[in-house]
Amino acid sequence: MIELGSRPALTALVGALLDAWPEHRRYVERSFESRPADTLDVSEDVSGLILALSKRLPGGLTSLCADYRYLCDVIVMPEEIYFRRHGRYRLSSFADANRECYANPPMMNRYMNGLLLSNVFWDNHARVFSYFARDYLGSLPAGASLLEIGPGHGLFLFFAARRADRGAVTGWDISETSVANTREALRAMALDGAVDLAVRDWFAPDNGDTEQFDAIVLSEILEHLEDPVGALRLAHRRLKPGGTVFVNVPANSPAPDHIYLVNSPEHAAALAVEAGFEIVDSAAFPMTGATLDRARKQKLAISCVVVGRRPSR
């Protein structure tokens, strides 16, 4: 039995998925059975955003649920089998990931739609959102400016932009199409104009641009890069002294566009230290149905959160 309390958006989303994929019930039950009430509240917020987004997508919520199943069965499962057999990700270069994934728009569209629902149905993803919305954003000073790299559907930007005491909220992505999709998503969330979105290559020379931010978000970015420490060093440079970076990177989480293998929460923190950050906080959220100890021993997926500070001097 799935107990969700008085959370109508979450209840509607769970009902739609189980109608489309009843065999997934036991997994969904495990995902929610130990989820704290405050995390369920954030999942309710995320569910409401997903329902709003679904109204603007071809096929609506039914199509989203089908794409989530496609993510689990067709996209992730073969990569998981490869990882279990070889102990490494199948691909190791951006060029390969680009050829197989990013240059395949129909596949990427379904992939991204499936990941959208994973933010509710995968317990580790849901707990990352709760940590970001409650712990990380709550730690920022009033008026803090925030930049997210690769904002996707804009869910992190939503939580940042709705803060009453926020400063400027900005999102950068290398793809014009991605920026357009983020802008449309924020419009569906009733945040049109609240976020400054721009097409920017994170690794391009800054050409004298010295803009800095109080907070930078790199969520599920590093595993797609050949040089994650280089990306973190750029974040270090773009932060004001005393500013913080929020990193969310999965360990032991195979996918067709994951090319850099983080093998533990400690490995994730070490990348930030190598880039010059002081570690302020960290958290590790194992995949649905696993304890952290079991996930470590069996190399199961763990969402690793690292908050690093650029030293003030």
171, 216 in Cβ contact below 8 A?
Answer: no
Confidence grade of residue 206 (pLDDT, cut at 50, 70, 90): confident
- Asked if the model's pLDDT at residue 207 lies above 70, the reply is no
Task: Read off the pLDDT of each residue in 273-295 and give the average, rounded to a whole number.
Answer: 98
Give whole-number Cα distances, 60 to 24, 50, 72, 113, in Å: 20, 10, 19, 11
185 lies in some domain: yes
The model's pLDDT over 152-204, given as tens digits with 9 standing for 90+, comes to: 999 999 999 998 899 999 999 998 989 998 999 999 998 877 899 999 989 88
Evaluate if pTM is beyond 0.85: yes
Q: Which of 77, 97, 121 is the last residue of a domain?
A: 121
- Helix extents (H) in 122-251: 123-130, 137-139, 155-161, 176-188, 228-238
In 24-165, DSSP assigns E strands to 146-149
Task: Read off the pLDDT of each residue in 7-25 and give the average, rounded to a whole number.
Answer: 97
Which domain does 99 fall in, by range?
A: 8-121
Please, is 167 exposed, middle or buried when counting C-beta atoms within 10 Å of its C-beta (0-12, 13-18, 19+)? Answer: middle
- Of 263, 1, 253, which Cα lies nearest the Cα of 125? 253
1 lies in some domain: no
The model's pLDDT over 226-277, given as tens digits with 9 standing for 90+, comes to: 999 999 999 999 999 999 999 999 999 999 999 999 999 999 999 999 999 9
Partners of 239 in the beta sheet? 213
- Does 294 share its domain with 188? yes
- Does 50 share its domain with 114? yes
- Distance separating alpha carbons of residues 280 and 177, to the nearest angstrom: 35
Confidence grade of residue 104 (pLDDT, cut at 50, 70, 90): very high
Report the chain's mean pLDDT, rounded to a whole number.
95
- Does 53 share its domain with 135? no
Partners of 284 in the beta sheet? 304
211, 242 in Cβ contact below 8 A?
Answer: no
- Does 116 share its domain with 187? no
3 lies in some domain: no
Residue 177's pLDDT is 86
- Does 202 share its domain with 288? yes
Per-residue exposure over 132-144, b if at least 16 CB sit within 10 Å of its own CB, e if not: bbeebbeebeeeb
- Asked if the model's pLDDT at residue 1 lies above 70, the reply is no
Residue 283 belongs to what H/E stretch? Answer: strand 278-286
148 lies in some domain: yes
- Does 106 share its domain with 170? no
Report the number of distinct structural domains present in the chain: 2
Between strands 213-219 and 196-199, the pairing is unpaired
- Does 169 share its domain with 301? yes
Residue 210's pLDDT is 82
- Does 207 share its domain with 191? yes
Q: Is 141 helix (H, G, I), strand (E, B) or coil?
A: coil
CA dihedral (222, 227, 229, 230) positive or negative: negative
CATH of the domain at 165: 3.40.50.150
217 lies in some domain: yes
Task: Read off the pLDDT of each residue in 83-98 and give the average, rounded to a whole number.
Answer: 96
- Does 113 share its domain with 132? no
Give 243's DSSP letter.
Answer: E
The model's pLDDT over 121-145, given as tens digits with 9 standing for 90+, comes to: 999 999 999 999 999 999 999 999 9
What share of the chain in percent tops pLDDT 90?
88
130 lies in some domain: yes
Residue 220 belongs to what H/E stretch? Answer: none
Q: Which of 80, 101, 121 is the last residue of a domain?
A: 121
2 lies in some domain: no
Q: Which of 104, 121, 138 is the last residue of a domain?
A: 121
- Does 131 share its domain with 71? no
Confidence grade of residue 2 (pLDDT, cut at 50, 70, 90): confident
Residue 169 has phi, psi (to 5 degrees) of -120, 125
87 lies in some domain: yes
